[in-house]
Structure 1
Amino acid sequence: MPDLSDQFYLRLEPFTDFATVGDVERYETVPADWVILAADIVRSRDAIEAGRYKEVNLIGAAVISAVLNQVGRENVPFVFGGDGAMLLVPPSAVEAGKIALAGVQRLAAEETGLSLRTAAIPLTEIRSNGADVCLRKYELSPGNYLAMVIGGGLELADRILKDEDLCKPFLIDPAMAVEPDLEGLSCRWEPLPSERGKVLSLILRPSEGGGESLRSVAADIEHIVGFDPLGETDSANHVTRDRLRFRFPPRGLGLEIRMLSRTGNRFAYGAKAVFQSLATIWGFVTGLSIGPFRPARYLQEICRHTDHRKLDDSLRLVLDVSTEQLNALTDYLDEAFRARRLNYGIHVSDSALMTCFMTDIGASQHVHFIDGANGGLSAAASDFKQRKAATS
């Protein structure tokens, strides 16, 4: 008989209306024997300032792809954070997940020189410190899901991971490392330019009131920018067909080849990647299918299969706004912060980055991680924490 704890996420009923993401009563508590697998790039700000945020994003996405390829994607919720990621795994997947993270840690050091800290933090530790992890499963399309998380547990796990002393009991042994399976990971798209002027990476959290306050804040933002940030329109989604750009050779192709060819022939993988890139361009130009790749359908799916909006204790958005909208929105957020109605963090850039994880393109199984360029959500998180510290 299947273990009900192991199948918790698999059995979770998905929802499709993102506007209901703040309905806290619909979240379900994660089983007590689950574990948070957490990864974070140490001193990521230095890499960002050196112009290496694409590499930072790719390592963050590699964490997710390595674990899902190792333990399966159906029952493992994940959250992409820009400079790292968090996944929740059942007891049966803990050891395999730790091995995968140790592998990405070694790969990051050897291929990029970035230091990735990884930890396995039991939910019992989170709950003993007064926080919790509760989930909903947002359906992008059949078989493609994003985890929405409340309870303060991931925020606490992040604090533990970033504290050298607190994280020591939970650090993953680097000696566990084997070469990670990163099949499906890619970074071939060009940065997605702003059409209105600025790409805003925004993290916000109402001080109280749960879902009602979140809806109220979203309504205020809609009044300022002219579109519902939780809505399904192109205005709310930075990933649209008009913004998608593909060039040859893709700028991230060299790093992708280095990372994904470590267990095989690098030349052979490189030749395959080059052929795929050329075939992609040919497919987009002609509209003709190539094997399972159907260009028109894929472009439509990309625009739906993104994490440009998500809730993991805080609402995280990547929005395209004008300078006037940005100024008005910043004024609103400042006023709301001073009134202690919410806390927020922002980062502004001229474009967004997209990193892809494709498990079966023919079956429409792919997700795309969206982040503001040159710091994005990582920089917004630092801004959020600094503002929070100033009031505590």
Structure 2
Amino acid sequence: MTTNDLDFYRSIPILERFEDVGDGQRYTPLPPGWIIGVADVRNSTQAIAEGRYKAVNMVGASVIAALMNALATRDFPFVFGGDGAAVALPGTMGAAAGAAMASVRRYAAEALDLDLRVGTIGVDAIRAAGHDVRIARFGVSPDVAFALFSGNGLNWAEEQLKAGLITLPEAAPGAWPDLAGLSCRWEPIAARNGRILSILVRPAPGAPADAFAALVSRISAIVEAAPDRGNPVSPTTLRWRFPPGGLGIEARSGKGRLGVAIAYVRLLALSLMAAVVFLAGRKLGDFDPERYKTVTARNSDFRKFDDGLRMTVDADAGVEARLRAELEEAAARGIAQYGLHAQDAALMTCLVPSLTRDDHIHFIDGAAGGYARAAAMLKQQASMPPAAA
């Protein structure tokens, strides 16, 4: 095995308990020579205020879809952040990855009028700056495991991106990515227990690692004990309407007015067929709609760890109160900084290589600002002077 071998990632043991994701001992350092790719929608708060959060989510997920298609593999570490994404790749894939990410920036600007910042940086440079990138895997089903990141390297790389210190050359006009498999056709998923909470939790500067890990375990345990483990996605709450609300956004991957129109008609036909199948609830060939919905709930990334805890959970009043109490106490003790945004529904953006396989994955965010608004709250909290002891 070489440092530029994706077998490194495939060989990492899979965590089975989410309560363990805060334990730094369970993470493996990325090999030397690997690169980190980061992407972030500029002015996402304004886009959200304009009611365009589904488009913002689509762009964030497009980074991952474009890389999967360009590199012809799904076996690399990635994390969806709502208004962006981050990935880790062997250095030998750097040129292809950079081109794919730049093409997503071009697509975001030309098709969706969104400004996507994209950049890559070597893990060696991250370590030279005093940070690290260590990864683990959390298994959500026999077919899907999501990457987890620690070491503050992703956070630092994103800061460099936003400061304009890392970027990628512009793709040529019209050089759009291959986004096959990416869709956003489910309706917003209404909270069934209370409210949808989008939560970000980062270690406070100087916080002991064991204290932060214990906090992550406590928060995870609260969510694990909630109805349906806090998962906003349930077979009973997945709703499909015709035509799907996100169809126009998905159709814009076709270029020019004619291309968009053709894509829309094709997607409309596929959506009508899907609506009939899901409404009937009966198998069509090898496709079982009830099984698909069950696997969709199981393969959703409603909780993750990328240099901090990130969750979008369906919480009743009691769970919300316990979560807020833990977070407020941790902030007061200088253990963590956090952002929390409550809303009535969640959004789901999907990567589905095949309807007849169980390895489709689903990115979850809050439907009314979600992670972006939680991040704004965290940023505001981080800018405040520490409380007096």
Fold shared by both chains (TM-score > 0.5): yes
CA distance in 2, matches of 1:267, 1:217: 47
Structure 1 partner of 2:263: 269
Structure 2 partner of 1:225: none
Shift, 1:324, TM fit: 5.7
Q: Please give the secondary structure, in 2, of the residue aligned with 1:76.
A: coil
Q: Kindly provide the CA deviation profile for residues 63-114 of structure 1, in whole angstroms up to 9, marking residues without a partner as x.
A: 1100111113343211101111011111121111111111111111111111
Structure 1 pair 137/328, CA: closer, same or farther in 2 (3 Å)? closer
Shift, 1:261, TM fit: 6.1
1:335 counterpart = 2:329: yes
Q: Which amino acid aligns with 1:5?
A: N
Identity %: 37
Greater CA drift, 19-28 or 184-193 = 19-28
Indicate which of 160, 178, 182 corresponds to 2:179. Answer: 182
Q: Kindly provide the CA deviation profile for residues 290-339 of structure 1, in whole angstroms up to 9, marking residues without a partner as x.
A: 34421011011011101100001111111222356535543442232112
Shift, 1:272, TM fit: 2.8
Q: Which amino acid aligns with 1:129?
A: A
Structure 2 partner of 1:173: 169
Structure 1 partner of 2:378: 384
1:43 counterpart = 2:43: yes
Q: Kindly provide the CA deviation profile for residues 353-373 of structure 1, in whole angstroms up to 9, marking residues without a partner as x.
A: 000011122121211000011
1:205 counterpart = 2:199: no
Greater CA drift, 119-128 or 259-268 = 259-268
TM-score w.r.t. the length of structure 2 is: 0.91
Structure 1 pair 253/346, CA: closer, same or farther in 2 (3 Å)? same
Q: Quick check: 2:106–2:171 contact (8 Å CA) kept in 1?
A: no
CA distance in 1, matches of 2:16, 2:226: 10
Where in structure 2 are the equivalents of 1:300-339 lying within 5 Å? 300-323=294-317, 325-327=319-321, 329-339=323-333
CA distance in 2, matches of 1:78, 1:221: 21
Shift, 1:50, TM fit: 1.0
Shift, 1:217, TM fit: 4.9
Q: Quick check: 1:201–1:348 contact (8 Å CA) kept in 2?
A: yes
TM-score w.r.t. the length of structure 1 is: 0.90
CA distance in 2, matches of 1:176, 1:132: 33
Q: Which amino acid aligns with 1:135?
A: I
Structure 1 pair 80/273, CA: closer, same or farther in 2 (3 Å)? same
Structure 1 pair 334/77, CA: closer, same or farther in 2 (3 Å)? same
Q: Which amino acid aligns with 2:135?
A: L
Q: Kindly provide the CA deviation profile for residues 29-64 of structure 1, in whole angstroms up to 9, marking residues without a partner as x.
A: 001211111111111111011111111001000111
CA distance in 1, matches of 2:220, 2:138: 22
Shift, 1:179, TM fit: 2.2
Where in structure 2 are the equivalents of 1:117-266 lying within 5 Å? 117-164=117-164, 167=165, 170-175=166-171, 178-207=175-204, 208-210=207-209, 213-219=212-218, 228-230=222-224, 234-260=228-254, 265-266=259-260
Where in structure 2 are the equivalents of 1:337-376 lying within 5 Å? 337-376=331-370
Q: Kindly provide the CA deviation profile for residues 111-161 of structure 1, in whole angstroms up to 9, marking residues without a partner as x.
A: 111111111111122111100000011222234221101000001011111
Q: Quick check: 1:218–1:230 contact (8 Å CA) kept in 2?
A: no
CA distance in 2, matches of 1:75, 1:155: 22
CA distance in 2, matches of 1:360, 1:367: 11
Aligned pair count reads 382
